[in-house]
Amino acid sequence: MCLFCPAPSVAPSSPWSARRAFLLAAGASAAAPVLAQVDVGSSSSLRKLVPAETLEQSAAQQYRQMLEQARAKRALAPDNHPQLQRLHAIAKRLIPYATPWNDRARQWRWEVNLIGSSQINAFCMPGGKIAFYTGILDQLKLTDDETAMVMGHEMAHALREHARERIAKTQGTNLALRLGSQLLGLGDLGQAAAGLGGQLLTLQFSRSDESEADLVGLELAARAGFQPSAAVSLWQKMGNASGSKQGGLAFLSTHPSGPARIRELELNVPKVQGLYEAARRNG
């Protein structure tokens, strides 16, 4: 089924532009480091077992493959698609506040794409590769503020390097031994993590990872001028969706909603309310 067929007025020779990706150098307008208003502690040192550059390269390759598959099915939104333009506008407001959470983000080439699918899903891979499915926007009828909370949450997973940490933990002793061999001159450090990128779309984050992403995403969105209370209404919608008969709840299978999650967000909304109000005053 053609989910993003060109309108009749579009010439058949130009339904797709040569480049789908929305690219933005993270350091172009990076915000100055400021004191975080939410408390998520320091990142796990275990992530250092997996080379960040290698994982980001693997993520970029897997992301490109995913886009090519979507393009082949005519399910990749064209640049002029209203929902994709909306996502780009939200991303442009969020990305400048990413660098204080991870200095590597200065080097990332951020991309935001929209895929036509009934799945309620969205993600951000290492290196800033973001994708939304139309199902999460359409079925949940997300406002811009709620969409920003989803995007901020997914960006936070990448900024806090949860995938890098999770892969290090799942690889365990085997990965440590391979990296140890490299330090002794017995192997290639790049090869130790080169095959890990294929796991990125199937990783299950821990409850603490999800909590961190909720709070960091909340602060990112508040600094960008999005209403903090939208984090609560978002997860209320998620909870209602999980209790309904809607299909394709891929996002909720890895991001379960519940009273505890909503309570934690409610407790943290006041902490970032001043950031939101300052952002609105400053335009």
Non-local (6+) Cβ contacts of 252 within 8 A are 120, 238, 241, 242
**Beta-bridge partners for 130:** 112, 124
- Determine phi and psi for 195, rounding to 5 degrees: -90, 10
- Just list the catalytic residues: 154
Q: Which position has the token pair 């609560």? A: 232
Specify the amino acid at residue 12: P
Alpha carbon 235 to chain centroid distance? 16
Q: Strand order of the sheet with strand 129-133?
A: 24-25, 109-115, 129-133, 122-125
Residue 191 to residue 182: CA distance in whole angstroms: 10
DSSP result, 143-177: -HHHHHHHHHHHHHHHHTTHHHHHHHHHHHHHHHH
Q: How many CB atoms lie within 10 A of CB 75?
A: 19
What's the token pair of residue 35?
């004191």
- Residue among 31, 21, 137 nearest 70 (CA): 21
Taking CA atoms, 104 is separated from 48, 147, 164, 254, in Å, by 13, 24, 13, 26
